[in-house]
Copies of this chain bind each other. A is one copy, B any other.
Amino acid sequence: MKERKLYDINAPNASTGIINGESSNVLNWDDVRFNWAYPMYKNMLANFWTPFEINMSNDRKQWPELSSDEQETFKKIIGLLAFLDSIQTDYSSKVADYLTDSSLAALMQVLSFQEVVHNQSYSYVLSSLVDKHEQDQIFEYWKHDEILLERNNFIAEGYERFVEEKTPQAFIESVVYDVVLEGLFFYAGFAFFYNLARNQKMVSTSTMINYINRDELIHVNLFAHIFKETLNENPELDTKENMQFVTDTFKKAVDLEVKWGQHIIGNKIDGINMNELEDYIKYTANKRCKLLGVDAPYPEIKGNPLKWIKAYKEVDEGKSDFFEQKSRQYTKVSDTNGFDEL
């Protein structure tokens, strides 16, 4: 694949293709290849947040009152997220180099930036709750925990292939791994935090997780757009085999995510039933597959089995509002307001 040039005096501003095209690389938002790009950019900026906005003092008080299982799971999830968001920052920045349109590269830069903020939130949370030594240990869980290793290797290998072999086929495969990472592998962990929050525990951390979740939903949409436009412009990639690859990858990913769910949640966390969590993981995989244009791999799962999960419907629907969201508070979590988005 052709890397986007630093500048090209003979090329137009709007690129001639999503990959392997020509582009001046000068960004004029009113002259770009895809009309969904600018609204998505505006949405991403509207979602700006920083961990500094969030006061950790209540969480700090509640931390010693969590059960040791809850503390253990909390730390493992943060350890997982720290690893995944770190490699995600780099993967997205490498993807940016191969998207010909400067507006898509720009979206990818905004995404990388958001991953940086997510990463910082993990240091920020841990430094409020545990001592420096324990924080450093948690940041190394990914090196030792076997279930974590297996799961992370699954993604990392999908990314590595694209990093090493820059072909359109490796590219679209890596995008599927991305949608697994951002659209599935975070979700058992997210559910744990939402469950804490609905029990009025660790609400600040959960608010941060919710902001991260909101960002991830847009990331998933962005990568799904990229996947579908790449197939559309390169019909030789739009094959049965590649559709099957999506299904197979998500099925493997679901197995890993369920295993991880059993490891961190199982039957030891009050309020989360493991069978429901498994269905929730499958429900989420169905949504991501449909977004990529593939049939649901688990047609028996019809709706969200974790009704209590607070969702941010307006974000999915592109109705976010900058100033309103700035002051959004995490106050509406209840058993009754569950809707069907996460």
Contacts and interface: CB of A to CB of B under 8 A. Distances in A.
6 contacts: A27-B86, A27-B89, A27-B123, A31-B135, A93-B112, A106-B119
B26 A86 contact: yes
Interface string A97-113: 10000100110011011
Interface size range of chain A in the complex: 35 or more
B136 A28 contact: yes
A160 B41 CA distance: 28
A52 B48 contact: no
Given A45-B50, A87-B25, A6 B156 contact: yes
Interface string A1-18: 000101101000100000
Interface in A128-165: 132, 135-136, 139-140, 142-143, 156, 159-160, 163
Contact of A89 (B109, B124, B143): B109
Contacts of A136: 13, 28, 30-31
Contact of A120 (B26, B41, B139, B156): B41
Given A29-B119, A45-B52, A48-B48, 8 more contacts: A25-B86, A26-B86, A26-B139, A27-B123, A30-B132, A31-B136, A93-B109, A93-B112
A91 interface: yes
Given A6-B156, A113-B110, A123 B30 contact: yes
A112 B13 CA distance: 19
A278 to B, nearest CB: 28
Contact of A6 (B28, B45, B117, B163): B163
Interface in A48-106: 48, 50, 52, 82-83, 86-87, 89-91, 93-94, 96-97, 102, 105-106
A139 B13 contact: yes
A34 interface: no
Contact of A25 (B4, B28, B90): B90
A27 B119 contact: yes
A22 B98 CA distance: 26
A291 interface: no
Nearest to A135: B30
A83 B26 CA distance: 6
Contacts of A116: 27, 106, 109-110
A7 B116 CA distance: 15
A245 interface: no
B31 A139 contact: yes
A9, A25, A48, A156 pick with most chain B CB within 10 angstroms? A9
A46 to B, nearest CB: 8
